[in-house]
């Protein structure tokens, strides 16, 4: 423990990096608390190393606390807005693009079952498709294939 107090700048740098890694890798940047404290610890370590902040535990803790509050005030809104930007495009799975020939008629009011890969899929179409038509899956939901003529 004496090493940590005797090498305060290095200890704060290691602690700051560890907090940043935990925030990003483990928590997925979902809470900003560890991010602010980790950044403040790294900045305080740099200030200690440069001699701007006295090499005492009290000064290091005070500097870390003030920098944490300052970073939280400055970065809260930009980071929060960054989190709210969500991409709502659907992921294209392996089932989309699958082609097959209809055995039964399909229409908006008629949704027969098609067995594929050991699963019964309900066929959904926006237009009337007669049996024998080659169709392609354009969207796959849970238990449903949305199809169109190909």
pLDDT tens for 4-52 read: 667 899 999 999 999 999 999 998 888 889 999 999 999 999 999 999 9
Q: Could you tell me where the beta strands, DSSP code E, fall in the chain?
A: 99-101, 113-116, 119-124, 134-141, 144-149
Percent of the chain scoring above 90 in pLDDT: 66
Whether the CB-CB separation of 100 and 123 falls below 8 Å is answered with no
Work out the average pLDDT over 118-136: 92
Same-domain pairing of 13 and 78: yes
Percent of the chain scoring above 70 in pLDDT: 95
Instruction: Indicate whether 91 belongs to any domain.
Output: no
Same-domain pairing of 124 and 77: no
CA–CA separation, 141 and 37 (whole Å): 43
Determine the structural domain holding residue 56 and report its residue range.
Answer: 2-83
| Model confidence pLDDT, tens digit, residues 16-26 | 999 999 999 99
Same-domain pairing of 79 and 133: no
The partner residues of 93 in beta bridges, in order of sequence, read: none
> Could you tell me the pTM of the whole model?
0.58
pLDDT for 134:
94
Q: How many CB atoms lie within 10 A of CB 146?
A: 15
């Amino acid at each position: 423990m004496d090493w940590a107090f005797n090498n305060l700048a290095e200890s704060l740098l290691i602690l700051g990096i560890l907090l940043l890694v935990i925030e990003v890798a483990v928590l997925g940047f979902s809470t900003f608390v560890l991010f602010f404290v980790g950044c403040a610890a790294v900045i305080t370590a740099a200030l200690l190393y440069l001699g701007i902040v006295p090499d005492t535990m009290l000064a290091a803790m005070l500097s870390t606390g003030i920098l944490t509050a300052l970073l939280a005030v400055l970065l809260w809104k930009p980071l929060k807005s960054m989190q709210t930007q969500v991409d709502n495009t659907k992921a294209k799975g392996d089932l989309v693009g699958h082609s097959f020939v209809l055995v039964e008629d399909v229409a908006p009011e008629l949704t027969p079952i098609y067995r594929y890969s050991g699963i019964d899929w309900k066929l959904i179409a926006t237009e009337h498709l007669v049996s024998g038509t080659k169709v392609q899956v354009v969207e796959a939901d849970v238990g449903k294939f949305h199809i169109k003529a190909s």
